[in-house]
Structure 1
């Protein structure tokens, strides 16, 4: 049985206003998927490398000492979430961080993890 308690700190109007400003369910799922994808060490390393330079799969393979198929699999996941973009450079496909929002997310996460003040 759930008992209803009254707490004088509850400002129902303020809380209802906060609730009305929450992202929709689709956005919550998308953000959750992004964080889930970025909990992978290899994917984060790929993202941090791409922050510094556009790279092709062969460059990432060399930098991370991973197989081409492992790199491609991780890049596919990052592309599906629109975290990386591609463009043709001659006969190669090069990858880059999708946009400034993704760059900011990665930079802020790194600063937070390293204990830097913002």
Structure 2
């Protein structure tokens, strides 16, 4: 079974020590066992290296680092001794927060 997946058991208590949540369906009551997020599930997020970030944002390297200095762009995380990358979710959130273009008017 995959980490973070749900196991539904009808009519009996959850046999695991994980968080128990009750949910009602139209016909019967179900109890759902939910596992808390694990390190394995957190590690499945994609990370983007600088060239991919440049392509996704349309910004140059100098613009990225200048914006990071002004705290206008998320900072990367260290993924190795000499390597950094940006979580894809951070880049997507930054792009979503950008104002829409007015077409130069």
Query: What is the TM-score with the length of structure 2 in the denominator?
Result: 0.32
- Structure with greater proportional helix content: 1
- Structure with greater proportional strand content: 2
Query: What is the TM-score with the length of structure 1 in the denominator?
Result: 0.29
